[in-house]
Structure 1
């Protein structure tokens, strides 16, 4: 209920985290009800989380890969098959209830063989990977840093949360005035769709995204 309220009112949160927790909780409850072993509980927990990802985003392969790479401690037929069955059935139910449409509307792209790609394009693709890796490292480090900083705020968890939400609200107001609401509020799908369609208007995004789209459409 709280996450539905947060997303519905435009908060900058996504659907990934909640559905992972919900799916994992369902798998864990079933395992406890059946009094399964610890390893079987982990398998059902992973299957539930992967099934949630698969049904919510219509990505069965993504749900399987998430469960296998993130949650499962080992890869074997006894762990992989339950995950595969859960994600497959969840995808079927999700498509029956929500439809089979993709989350994003992709423009027509020509995908040449990498062997025919110019060396500069390959270098740019590799540079994108390096930049994303550095951005991920910076994001994780920033999370740890801000957690340590807010622990120093006196008054307990509620005061820390209030201060953090006030700062976040002020940042959202400032960014919205400059970039526009669709680029700041919500789960971010609008930004991704605008990048794919190459129709961003914010100056901070438009030039870099146009270059990326030109590279993809070659």
Structure 2
């Protein structure tokens, strides 16, 4: 079986170190680079081929390539050969589904054991997509959490991305620039998201996002 050449991208040095240490214990894998931003990742891929890209979902601050679904779509469009694995704290099933629709081969949730990364890579080696444990299955949660979860899960991927940038403190103009959309479009998506979350003001929106942990 071919040894997988893997490129890691995450803006947290300790996460990179932990993933590298874990993967290098398996002789099926070869970590060829660890990178701390989307720009560094893209520049590396232009010079060095890889079998698999493992990237964090949230890497704020990169105006050139962004992060999240925008980055995934760029990688799949410009580097169609490597398979993309997304590492994330996001558990919203609509967002996870949108990542698969964008072309990722695996989503690994950070709340799970890091060994799930190895399991995902071995699944890819076998020619299959990897799905996180429990994906599309309802958990045993109380009625209040279920109600909050349903509101969050009603967000479309585009609305979710707008809120993620807005809660970071970006103005709507900055959100539009980050997502390459018009101000009118992102403003409409923010209004739609607020309606779904049943919040009336920006303060209520930020408070809901913080208390619900929608953006870990």
Name the TM tier (shorter chain): under 0.3
Greater RCO, CA 8 A, separation 6+: 1
Whose helix proportion is higher, 1 or 2? 1
Q: Which has the larger radius of gyration?
A: 1
TM-score normalized by structure 2?
A: 0.26
TM-score normalized by structure 1?
A: 0.26
